[in-house]
Chain A
Amino acid sequence: MNEAIMIAGMALVTFSVRYVMFAMAGRIVFPVWFKHALAYVPPVVLSAIIAPLILMPKGYLDISLANPYFWAALVAAIVGFWRQHLLTTIIVGMIAFILLKWITS
């Protein structure tokens, strides 16, 4: 029962956040500066999500060889800048991660 309420609530808040702007589309006009600032949203949000996951997987800053998250991300980033191809970046990153985890364990 608690579980159903929790999921319904999560679904409601998630959908509301995604829908409110679309619902009002055409009735709101944004200033130019706001549109310029919006261009920063996706990369900024995503890097704020992943930075702690990659650099501090155990809760503290860790760039030692024992942190496969950091080194695999570094390999993926190098490949990403070099090839500019998303799928290659993801696959190389995952392979690097599995290998590093296997070596360090």
Chain B
Amino acid sequence: MLSIMVPLYFTLIAFMPTSRSKEFITGAKATIPMIIGAIPFGIIFGTLAESSGLSMWGAMAMSLFVYAGSSQFIALGLLATGVSPIIIIGTTFVVNLRHLLYATALVDKVKHLSQGWRFLLAFGLTDESFAVVNTRYSDGTDNSRAHWFFLGSIIAMYSNWQLCTWLGIGLGELFPDMTHWGLDFAMSVTFLGIVIPYLRTKPMWLAVISAAIFAMALRELPHQLGLVIAAVFGICIGYASQQIGLRLKPPTPPSPSNKGAAHNE
């Protein structure tokens, strides 16, 4: 698999004008921390597949076509308990609803692109690429070629995910007890690392803490609904406290020109 991907990278880059390839490479590089976090996570997905009742080809196909780490894990968990495919598809939908919010946040940045580009970028819109790309779009520099950055991030993240799934399937056969090593912590710590830079204002702290508390309190709800409800609550609390904070600010003193006008009356 690696022998296919590496030449593919270089062919892709070789055909791009320099400004595009620069964006593409910067996007791929900016995704490296996310890739490090995804390696153990992807491997553990591959190793878990067989014991959950998913075939080797099923595991690979899931990574290739679904390409959504956390819902792939949840699907494995549900498969192991023997629920029907319909329930698994429904749960995937609910768990991935957050991507609707990600897409909404980026929608103004892709509106000048062709449907083909939008199709491609939407397919690769994961938590990790969103975090990287969202930072790129809000860094204040020229965004006219930032979709190449986006594509670079997606291709780096995607090929790593395939490679790790494939490795995990192989390793799972060699070390059947690997599933107990706790490699799933890699996803948690990656997400934790993404959250930290956002925690700069009081409303953001409030939003994050309340979402975490709701998620824990509601975790018994079926089909991961608790996650969605907790997220909606967190967003509302953050936004509401931001609005209250704005209103509580002392009123701005009247400007000199206004004073003068009042005096003349």
Q: Give the B-binding residues of A (Cβ under 8 A).
A: 2-11, 13-15, 17-26, 28, 30, 33, 36-56, 61, 68-69, 72-73, 76-77, 80-81, 84, 86-87, 89-91, 93-94, 97, 101
Interface size of B by Cβ–Cβ distance < 8 Å?
91
B170 at the interface (CB under 8 A from A): no
A46 to B86, CA, bound (A): 26
Are A46 and B194 in touch, CB under 8 angstroms?
yes
Q: A45-B98, A48-B231, A49-B191 are in contact. Are A19 and B215 (CB under 8 A)?
A: no
B40 within 8 A of A: yes
Q: Least Cβ distance of B135 to chain A in Å?
A: 10
Q: Which residue of A lies closest to B215 (CB)?
A: A48
Q: Which residue of A lies closest to B195 (CB)?
A: A43
Q: Considering only CB atoms, which chain A residue lies closest to B87 in the complex?
A: A6
11 A-B pairs whose Cβ atoms sit less than 8 Å apart in the complex: A3-B55, A10-B62, A10-B92, A20-B103, A42-B102, A42-B194, A43-B207, A48-B214, A53-B187, A86-B193, A89-B192
Q: How far is the CB of A104 from chain B (nearest CB, A)?
A: 11
List of 5 A-B pairs having minimum Cβ-Cβ separation, nearest first: A93-B189, A51-B212, A6-B85, A9-B89, A21-B103
Contact with A along B85-106 (1 / 0, CB 8 A): 1101100110011111111111
Complex Cα distance, B127 from A80, in Å, reads 19
